[in-house]
């Protein structure tokens, strides 16, 4: 109507601005815009400000989250970038997750955070969105939500913490948390010393300083092409990190103007590049689950990146980055050695250079535009292709009669390589409580050759697939100097942990048809990494017989879990298995499981 047109003219809101998005709530779009302006004007914005591209900034600050302690400064810098380039920046909160303060496990809440992220990006008017995250589950949750919302999104990483120092030796969360705790358990250091170490393990804000899940996801986000390469490694407390934030604000205006969405940027090749980087950095096993969940949010990629993709790429990719837990350095060393730019130049022959990036350039163009000359120090931390830390297959995928849908192992973090081909008698713990009760029992029938098995820590089992897969060594063996054993579970482990540890066994033991669920103490289990094999010495008949024997009981306990109220019930009803990403089936691109 003529009056509506008049209103448009007098508002001076140009037709492309974010404030106009989704104006259907009241049936009358012009009235909705009028109302929106009533309320946003209460915040003091002028028509001029409101006529600019509107960039949302996700604020994941929380006093429970030291990994995100620098978020307020990052928001300020990102806003500066947006506003210097003609946009209007508006920050808003979503939930935030810290590894240590998320019961029963942060993974239980990752899908919730992805829903919060997706729906708030969708619900609120914005032309683009900067997603600030860092701690382990936040970056995958934001990628998942951002891809599903499919507005222009720009991840901004909080950055790693600096290393600490104890009596002249550098320390960093959380590989050294584990090493030192193990040393304390074995009686090698006393309570005073372990307390002094506790003060130094996380000496600044930022994410864990080794190649744990947070660092891995930061590198992978850059490798996917979703953020500039230098965005992965700059320390949380550095001025470089603030400049990256400002630049992300600048980029946001350009990406929003070009309406460059994550579904348009990401291709199968972007994921191949991300998996190549995952293998080359000796990245966290958790990233396998996260990347599968991220890929399965994309309508054109769902089901096309599988566990097999990770193993295939691993076979041709050497481990080049010498960081804990596979090597000996910290994220600051990787950054100082040239970080992701240096690594991508080194990996160039293995990468898909046509993959698109958020800049609008292909990866090949990005590398051509930013040459890197390796220097001696950089080659200690980022090895060359012909002098790797580990020849290939840092992460491997195993299969066998107790893991028909796969299992994952970080072979490069094994402390006793002899265990990579090993047969032993199983010592089985039915769940984490059973393990806690018996693991240090002096009468536990266990030797260094035993295979420790922990059940009921899969996506449904615990629920949320806790990081309990790093089964502690029985105290009596640890105090004899045993440092590694073959350990199996359907759960995860922290990316900062090491050992010969098989994880993510699928189908998980909490499911009625799970062959892993039938393993008993005294069974013989064989692992052969070279053959990618995980095998229980039992006939198919025997396995079927044992599955039938426990089916009713397991189905009943599944039923009880599913009938719980609230998020917990929703979680158990909807979560898919590790090889699909442990996402909710209704959140994947097709809104259903994929059969792999």
Quick check: 580 binds Mg ion (CB under 5 A)?
no
* Contact partner, 335, from ligand FES, Mg ion, none, Cβ < 5-8 Å per class: none
Q: How far is the CB of 177 from ligand FES (least distance, A)?
A: 10
Sequence-distant (6+) residues with CB within 8 A of 60 are 68, 71, 93, 94, 95, 96, 132, 133, 138
Comparing CB distances to Mg ion, the nearer of 306 and 494 is: 494
What gap in Å lies between CA 537 and CA 526, rounded to an integer? 8
Comparing CB distances to ligand FES, the nearer of 214 and 347 is: 214
Backbone angles phi, psi at 457, to 5 degrees: -125, 30
Yes or no: say if 582 and 391 are a contact pair by the CB < 8 Å rule.
no
* Contact partner, 135, from ligand FES, Mg ion, none, Cβ < 5-8 Å per class: ligand FES
Q: How far is the CB of 462 from ligand FES (least distance, A)?
A: 19
Quick check: 117 binds Mg ion (CB under 5 A)?
no
For residue 157, the SS3 value is strand
Comparing CB distances to ligand FES, the nearer of 11 and 60 is: 60
**Helix H or strand E encompassing 8:** helix 2-11
Yes or no: say if 203 and 159 are a contact pair by the CB < 8 Å rule.
no
Q: How far is the CB of 496 from ligand FES (least distance, A)?
A: 7
Please give the residue ranges that form the binding site for ligand FES (CB under 6 A): 67, 98-99, 135-136, 173-174, 207-208, 212, 214
Return the residue matching tokens 């600048």: 250
Quick check: 296 binds Mg ion (CB under 5 A)?
no
* Contact partner, 207, from ligand FES, Mg ion, none, Cβ < 5-8 Å per class: ligand FES
499 closest CA partner among 512, 483, 475, 513? 483
Yes or no: say if 314 and 272 are a contact pair by the CB < 8 Å rule.
no
Number of shown-chain residues binding Mg ion (CB under 5 A): 4
Q: Residues 204-243: x/- map of binding to Mg ion (CB under 5 A)?
A: ---------x------------------------------
Quick check: 285 binds Mg ion (CB under 5 A)?
no
Comparing CB distances to Mg ion, the nearer of 139 and 452 is: 139
Distance of CA 447 to the CA centre of its chain: 34
Q: Residues 131-150: x/- map of binding to Mg ion (CB under 5 A)?
A: -----x--------------
Quick check: 65 binds Mg ion (CB under 5 A)?
no
What gap in Å lies between CA 186 and CA 184, rounded to an integer? 5
Quick check: 200 binds Mg ion (CB under 5 A)?
no
Token pair listed for 259: 């309406």
For residue 150, the SS3 value is coil
506 closest CA partner among 491, 521, 484? 491
Backbone angles phi, psi at 584, to 5 degrees: -80, 135
Q: How far is the CB of 468 from Mg ion (least distance, A)?
A: 12
Q: How far is the CB of 319 from ligand FES (least distance, A)?
A: 21
For binding to Mg ion (CB under 5 A), which residues are involved?
A: 99, 136, 213, 494
């Amino acid at each position: 109507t003529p009056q509506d047109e008049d209103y448009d003219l007098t508002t001076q809101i140009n037709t492309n601005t974010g404030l106009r998005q989704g104006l259907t709530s009241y049936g009358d779009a012009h009235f909705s815009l009028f109302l929106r302006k009533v309320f946003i004007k209460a915040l003091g914005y002028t028509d001029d400000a409101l006529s600019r591209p509107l960039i949302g900034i996700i604020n994941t600050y929380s006093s429970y989250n030291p990994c995100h302690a620098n978020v307020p400064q990052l928001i300020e810098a990102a806003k500066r970038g947006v506003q210097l380039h003609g946009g209007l920046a508006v920050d808003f909160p979503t939930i935030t997750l810290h590894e240590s303060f998320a019961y029963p496990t942060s993974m239980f809440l990752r899908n919730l955070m992805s829903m919060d992220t997706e729906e708030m990006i969708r619900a609120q008017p914005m032309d683009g969105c900067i997603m600030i995250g860092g701690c382990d589950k936040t970056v995958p949750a934001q990628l998942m939500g951002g891809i599903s919302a499919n507005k222009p999104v720009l991840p901004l990483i909080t950055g790693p913490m600096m290393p600490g120092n104890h009596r002249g030796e550098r320390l960093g969360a959380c590989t050294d948390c584990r090493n030192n705790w193990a040393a304390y358990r074995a009686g090698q250091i006393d309570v005073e010393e372990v307390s002094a170490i506790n003060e130094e393990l996380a000496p600044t804000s930022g994410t864990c300083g080794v190649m744990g899940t947070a660092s891995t996801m930061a590198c992978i986000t850059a490798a996917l092409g979703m953020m500039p390469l230098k965005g992965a490694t700059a320390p949380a407390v550095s001025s470089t990190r603030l400049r990256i934030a400002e630049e992300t604000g600048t980029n946001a205006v350009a990406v929003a103007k070009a309406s460059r969405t994550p579904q348009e940027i990401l291709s199968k090749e972007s994921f191949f590049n991300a998996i190549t980087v995952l293998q080359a950095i000796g990245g966290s096993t958790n990233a396998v689950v996260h990347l599968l969940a991220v890929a399965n949010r994309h309508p054109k990629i769902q089901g096309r990146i599988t566990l097999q993709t990770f193993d295939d790429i691993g076979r041709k990719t050497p481990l080049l980055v010498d960081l804990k837990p596979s090597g000996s350095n910290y994220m600051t060393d990787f950054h100082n050695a040239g970080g992701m730019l240096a690594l991508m130049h080194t990996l160039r022959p293995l990468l898909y250079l046509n993959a698109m990036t958020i800049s609008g350039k292909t990866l090949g163009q990005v590398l051509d535009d930013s040459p890197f000359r390796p220097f001696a120090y950089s080659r200690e931390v980022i090895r060359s292709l012909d002098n790797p830390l580990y020849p290939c297959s840092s992460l491997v995928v195993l299969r066998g009669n107790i893991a028909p849908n796969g299992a994952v192992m970080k072979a490069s973090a094994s402390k006793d390589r002899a265990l990579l081909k090993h047969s032993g008698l199983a010592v089985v713990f039915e769940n984490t409580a059973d393990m806690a009760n018996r693991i240090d029992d002096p009468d536990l029938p266990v030797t260094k050759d035993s295979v420790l098995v922990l059940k009921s820590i899969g996506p449904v089992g615990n629920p949320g697939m806790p990081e309990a897969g790093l089964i502690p060594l029985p105290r009596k063996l640890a105090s004899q100097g045993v440092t590694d054993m073959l350990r199996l579970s359907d759960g995860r482990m922290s990316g900062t942990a090491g050992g010969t540890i098989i994880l993510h066994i699928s189908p998980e033991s909490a499911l009625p048809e799970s062959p892993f669920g039938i393993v008993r103490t005294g069974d013989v289990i064989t692992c052969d990494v070279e053959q990618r094999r995980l095998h229980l010495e039992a006939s198919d008949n025997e396995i079927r017989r044992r599955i039938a024997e426990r089916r009713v009981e397991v189905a009943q306990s599944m039923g009880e879990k599913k009938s719980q109220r609230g998020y917990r019930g929703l979680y158990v009803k909807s979560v898919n298995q590790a090889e699909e990403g442990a996402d909710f089936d209704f959140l994947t691109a097709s809104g259903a499981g994929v059969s792999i």
